[in-house]
Amino acid sequence: MDFDVAVVGGSVAGLQAALTLGRARRRVVLFDDGRARNRAAEHVHNYLGVLNPAPGELLGVGREQVAAYGVAVRESRVTDARAVDGGFVVGGERVRAVVLATGLWDELPEVPGIADGWGRSVVACPHCHGWEVRDQPLVQVGMRGFPERSVARALLLSRWSDEVVLCTDGDELTSEQLQRLAAAGVGVRCERIAEVRGTEVALAGGERLSARRVFVVVRQHQQSNLAERLGCEVVDGAVVTVGGRTNVPMVYAVGTTTEPALLAIGAAGQASTAAVAVHNDLLDSDLRGRG
Ligand SMILES: Cc1cc2nc3c(=O)[nH]c(=O)nc-3n(C[C@H](O)[C@H](O)[C@H](O)COP(=O)(O)OP(=O)(O)OC[C@H]3O[C@@H](n4cnc5c(N)ncnc54)[C@H](O)[C@@H]3O)c2cc1C
């Protein structure tokens, strides 16, 4: 085998898995095609030990760290992964184990202008970007057709500011939902949204709501179908794992590939735990047959 482990995906989870495995003296190759989920954002917040770096800056340090332990980094997309005798072929390399760290992409509400501001004036996660705009006027744009989620996100956001307005983009809400929003002090507009321009939300009737930040509801999807190609179980868009192990022996999934809601530091933390499991499984296989 060329390497012990192929890590596919080199954002926080993949790099952390590679770091833990490199330090365990495993021969690791890491593939990444540069589409970290937060790449449009200006800063990574809520990550202990660093002061809100740019996403690329954080990953750049991670790349330097893994290189110091001999991890081979390939800046390329893996389009095929398959089982062969004694292991797998991933991106043309023969390996004993595969770690999928391929992450997610975010489907945004279909409202003109939202994609233009994504990661800067338009964000999704209050835990990531709420503190910076606390106590200021905020608009929560819902995902049309998913009113439950829109309401839940507006209620969450209301803990960061008393001036939150939920725009449902045409979804009507039940009286119970309206009561809960009112109790949390959230304003509600159910008209269609014409466009979002920067941090201004234009309603279909022509009225414009100004906010300090626009939060949106997103739907998440796997960035890669390698898990399915390798025979891994995928439920509700997440690769099913126990401690990072999938149902396919020697195939692992880490970070948001397996737990979509993880913050960046959670993705890295989960990946380090899973990498220890990879190392232990390789150790078992190293020692098997040696009496
Ligand atoms: C706009 C935005 C802002 C955010 N801000 C914050 C924040 O401030 N704080 C915070 O904690 N969290 C934040 N998050 C969440 C954070 O981005 C995720 O928790 C984190 O990126 C998850 O890391 P990951 O390694 O699991 O996957 P990802 O970051 O999605 O990375 C997956 C990697 O795999 C690569 N890849 C995928 N398929 C292949 C393939 N076939 N071959 C090769 N490479 C492949 C991609 O190029 C990518 O680099 C934000 C998210 C968004 C969308």
Residue 45 is predicted with a pLDDT of 98
DSSP secondary-structure letter at 145? T
CA-224 nearest atom, ligand 1:
38
Please tell me the class of the 3-105+219-287 domain.
alpha beta
Residue 9 is predicted with a pLDDT of 98
Say how far residue 75 (Cα) sits from the centre of its chain: 20
Centre of ligand 1 to C-alpha 236, Å, is 18
CA-257 nearest atom, ligand 1:
26
Centre of ligand 1 to C-alpha 217, Å, is 17
Quick one: what percent of the chain has pLDDT higher than 90?
Answer: 98
Residue 136 is predicted with a pLDDT of 98
HSE (side-chain half, CA atoms, 13 Å) at 10: 26
Query: Which tens digit of pLDDT belongs to each residue from 211-236?
Result: 999 999 999 999 999 999 999 999 99
Q: Quick check: do 3-105+219-287 and 109-216 share a fold? A: yes
CA-14 nearest atom, ligand 1:
25
CATH architecture for residues 109-216: 3-Layer(bba) Sandwich (3.50)
Residue 288 is predicted with a pLDDT of 85
HSE (side-chain half, CA atoms, 13 Å) at 261: 4
Q: Which residues contact 182 (CB under 8 A, 6 or more apart)?
A: none
Site residues for ligand 1, CB cut-off 6 Å? 8-14, 31-38, 40-41, 44-47, 77-78, 101-104, 106, 119, 123, 125, 128, 223-224, 226, 255-257, 262-265, 267
Residue 217 is predicted with a pLDDT of 98
Residue 289 is predicted with a pLDDT of 64
Instruction: Tell me which residues of the chain have a pLDDT lower than 70.
Output: 289-291
Residue nearest atom 45 in ligand 1 by C-alpha distance = 9
Residue nearest atom 49 in ligand 1 by C-alpha distance = 36
CA-91 nearest atom, ligand 1:
42
Alpha helical stretches, state H, the chain = 12-23, 55-68, 114-117, 126-129, 147-157, 175-183, 226-229, 264-287
In angstroms, the CA 246 to CA 228 distance is 11
Query: Which tens digit of pLDDT belongs to each residue from 243-264?
Result: 999 999 999 999 999 999 999 9
- Contact criterion met (CB below 8 Å) for 22 and 70: yes
Domain ranges for the chain? 3-105+219-287, 109-216
